[in-house]
Structure 1
Amino acid sequence: MSTRLLDPADPTDAHAAERLASEAVIWLGTVAPDGRPHTVPVWFAFDDPTVTVFSRPDTAKVGHLRTHDLVTVALDTAGQGADVVTGSGRATLSELGKVEKALDAFGRKYAPMLGSQPLDAWLMTFSLPIVVTLDRFVAWRNTADGLEYRSLPSRG
């Protein structure tokens, strides 16, 4: 398992982790073979430092990842643009049997959105797990005490 990036004792990290656990959508950025960026909204499960996404196997993002594994992720900004969570890392195309913990968390997180559709039925379409291992993380937000900012790993 990779080393965690976020420190639960740090208020900025704890806030970012809470958002990553509860937000419905994260934006996944890939790079096309011609170098063009490609960003799409996706459902995800977060287990520091990994973001697991489930995709149709025939999407542009999957094609991009077959040739270029560097990605970015970003939550929508909250607080009218004053609550930002972004990261970057490397993505791996995986298999359902290798992401059982993420699949369980994903199923619990999105059960209300799936309604009466069982997760197994949803996975018939979104059958390819993409596992992003974050190696960079940036978060900032305005608080009553001023700006909180974290850039990990810290550059010192």
Structure 2
Amino acid sequence: MATPLLDPAVPGDAHAAQRLATEAVIWLGTVDAGGRPHTVPVWFAWDDPKVTIFSRPDTAKIGHLRTHDLVSVALDSAEQGTDIVTGSGRARLSTFGKVEKALDAFGRKYAPMLGDQPLDAWLMTFSLPIVVTLDRFVAWHSTDAGLEYRSLPSRG
């Protein structure tokens, strides 16, 4: 089990964790065989320090991940650019049996967006789980007391 990056007792960490739990889209950055970056919006489930994504198996991002496992993630900026959450780590292709906890969280999170479509039907198309384990996290958020900046792991 991976060690969480965020400390819920730290206000900035708690804020970032809340955004990661509730935001609908995270941007996933991969790199193609030639080193060209490729960034796409994806639905995701967060379980510190893991981001679980479900993808069609025939996408460019899956091809990239088969060659390069280093990725970046970022939420859309909020508060006119003063609320930022980004991270990086390694991605691995997985199976439904290995992501049951994330699958349950994902189903609860996106049920309103799926409407009448059952999650099982949606997963017939987006059938390949991707698990990103973050090893780097950067976030900042403007508060009444000033800017809360967090870079994890801290660098001495």
> What's the TM-score, normalizing by structure 2?
1.00
What is residue 121 of structure 2 aligned with on the other side?
Answer: 121
> One-letter code of the match for 1:61?
K
Gaps of 5+ in 2: none
> One-letter code of the match for 1:107?
G
What is residue 107 of structure 2 aligned with on the other side?
Answer: 107
1:81 Cα deviation after fit: 0.4
What is residue 24 of structure 1 aligned with on the other side?
Answer: 24
1:53 Cα deviation after fit: 0.1
1:11 Cα deviation after fit: 0.4
> One-letter code of the match for 1:62?
I
> Once superposed, what is the RMSD of the aligned Cα atoms?
0.3
What is residue 36 of structure 1 aligned with on the other side?
Answer: 36
> One-letter code of the match for 2:51?
V
Report the Cα distance in structure 1 between the residues aligned to 2:99 and 2:147, rounded to whole angstroms.
36
What is residue 82 of structure 2 aligned with on the other side?
Answer: 82
For the pair 1:7 / 2:19, whether they are aligned, the reply is no
> One-letter code of the match for 1:14?
A
Report the Cα distance in structure 1 between the residues aligned to 2:131 and 2:84, rounded to whole angstroms.
22
What is residue 140 of structure 2 aligned with on the other side?
Answer: 140
Report the Cα distance in structure 2 between the residues aligned to 1:8 and 1:133, rounded to whole angstroms.
18
Report the Cα distance in structure 2 between the residues aligned to 1:25 and 1:101, rounded to whole angstroms.
19
> One-letter code of the match for 2:144?
A
1:127 Cα deviation after fit: 0.2
Identity, in percent, stands at 83
> One-letter code of the match for 1:115?
G
Gaps of 5+ in 1: none
> One-letter code of the match for 1:85?
V
Deviations 1:76-120 (A, max 9, x none): 000000000000000000001110000000000000000000000
What is residue 65 of structure 2 aligned with on the other side?
Answer: 65
For the pair 1:46 / 2:46, whether they are aligned, the reply is yes
> What's the TM-score, normalizing by structure 1?
1.00
Deviations 1:16-61 (A, max 9, x none): 0000000000000000000000000000000000000000000000
